[in-house]
Amino acid sequence: MNKNSKATLFLGLPYYLWAAFFIVIPLFMVVWYGLTDKTGAFTLANVLSIMRPAHMKALILSIVLSLGATVVCLLLAYPLCMFLVESQKKADSFLVMLLIVPMWMNFLLRTYAWQSILEKTGILNAFLNAIGLPSQHLINTPGGIILGMVYDFLPFMILPIYNALEKIDVNVVNAAHDLGANGTQTFTRVIFPLSLPGVISGITMVFVPALTTFVISSLLGGGKILLIGNVIEQEFTLAYDWHLGSGLSLVLLIFIILNIVVSTAFDRAEV
C-alpha cells in the first residue's frame, strides 16, 4: 500500500510541477497584482474599477453575448446530438468526426475566415447577391460576435451532450415506453434528466471561454464592440496597467467560479 502510494506520487509529480508553475503561481500573481497598486500597497481600487461605466458596460455586454451564444449552442447541439445518437452507428462516428475536424484547425485562422466571409464585399454577400438576395450586415455587430462564438465553441457543447446521451441505456428508454410513457414524456422525464450532466458541462465549456474572449470581438467586432476581455487585454498590452488588468480579471474569475459552483451543484443533484 505504502509502496503503491509512493508510485502514485511519482506518477503525479509532473502534474504537480505543472500545476504549481503554470496554474497556482500565475493565479497567485494575478491576485497579487489585482489587489495592489503601483507602489505595492494593498488596494481594492482595481477590483472596484469594474463599477466605472466603461468597464461595467463591457462586462454586461460580455455576459449578454456569451449567454446568447450559449443558448444558441445548446439549441443547435441538443437536437444534433439526439440525431447522432439515433442514427446508424457507422455513419455516426463519421459525422462526429466531421464536427471535430474543424477543431484541429487553428482557432484564429477560423475566425479570420469569418471576417472574409461576413464583410460587406465578402463571400457571403457575393453569394447572396448572386442569387438575388439582399446583403447581410453581420460583421462588426453583436450578432456577428455571437456567430463567431457559436462557431468556435459549438464543439464544446456537442461533445459532452453527445457523450451523455450515448451513455443512456436503451433499455431505460424501452422501459419508459413499456410503462406507457409517450415520446414527449420519455424525453422530458427520462432522456433529458439523464443527459443533464452533459448539458451542464457543455454550458460551462461554452459560457466561460465566450465570457472571456477578446479575439473574437477584436476580429469580428471591428474595434466597435468592447468586451470585458478586450478591456483586460488593453490594460495589459496598451495601458500597461497590470494592476488594473488583474483586478478586472479577478472580477471575471468570480463569475467563472460562480458558474462552476452552480454546475457542480446541478451535477451532484442529478447523479
Partner 1 sequence: MKKMKARRLLSALTAAVLAVTSLTSCGSGEAAEAGSNMLYVYNWGEYIDEETIELFEEETGITVVYDEFETNEVMFPKIDANPSQYDVICPSDYMIARMIGEDLLEPLDWDNMPNAKNNIGEEYLLQAEGFDPGNVYSCPYTWGTVGILYDSSRVDEPVTSWDILWDPKYKDEILMQDSVRDLYTVPLKMLGYSLNTLDEQELREATDLLIEQKPLVQAYVVDEVRDKMIGGESIFGVIYSGEAEYTREENENLEYVIPEEGTNVWIDGWVVTKASRHKENAMKWIDFMCRPDIALMNFEYIYYSTPNVAAMELMDEELLENEVLFPDLSQYDNLEAFDYLGEEGDALYFEYWKEVKSS
Residues forming the site for partner 1 (CB under 8 A): 53-55, 57-58, 61, 106, 108-109, 112-113, 116, 119-121, 137, 139-140, 222-224, 226, 230-231, 234, 236-241
For the stretch 164-173, what's the b/e string if a residue is b when 16 or more beta carbons lie within 10 angstroms of its beta carbon?
bbeeeeeeeb
Min dist. Cβ of residue 52 to partner 1 (A) = 8
Q: For partner 1, give the closer residue by CB, 107 or 187.
A: 107
Q: For partner 1, give the closer residue by CB, 158 or 232.
A: 232
Min dist. Cβ of residue 73 to partner 1 (A) = 24
Min dist. Cβ of residue 108 to partner 1 (A) = 5
Q: Using alpha carbons only, give the angle 237, 243, 245 rounded to the nearest 5 degrees.
A: 50
**Three-class SS of residue 70?**
helix
Min dist. Cβ of residue 231 to partner 1 (A) = 7
For residue 185, give the amino acid letter: Q
Residue 221's contacts (CB-CB under 8 Å, 6 or more residues apart) are: 140, 144, 145, 227
Q: Which residues pair with 123 in a beta bridge?
A: none
Instruction: Compute φ and ψ for 42, nearest 5 degrees.
Output: -65, 135
Q: For partner 1, give the closer residue by CB, 170 or 238.
A: 238
Distance CA 85, CA 166 (A): 6
- What is the per-residue DSSP string for 155-208? HHHHHHHHHHHHHS-HHHHHHHHHTT--HHHIIIIIIHHHHHHHHHHHHHHHHH
Min dist. Cβ of residue 178 to partner 1 (A) = 54
Q: For partner 1, give the closer residue by CB, 79 or 223.
A: 223
Min dist. Cβ of residue 237 to partner 1 (A) = 6
Q: For partner 1, give the closer residue by CB, 66 or 230.
A: 230
Q: For partner 1, give the closer residue by CB, 187 or 236.
A: 236
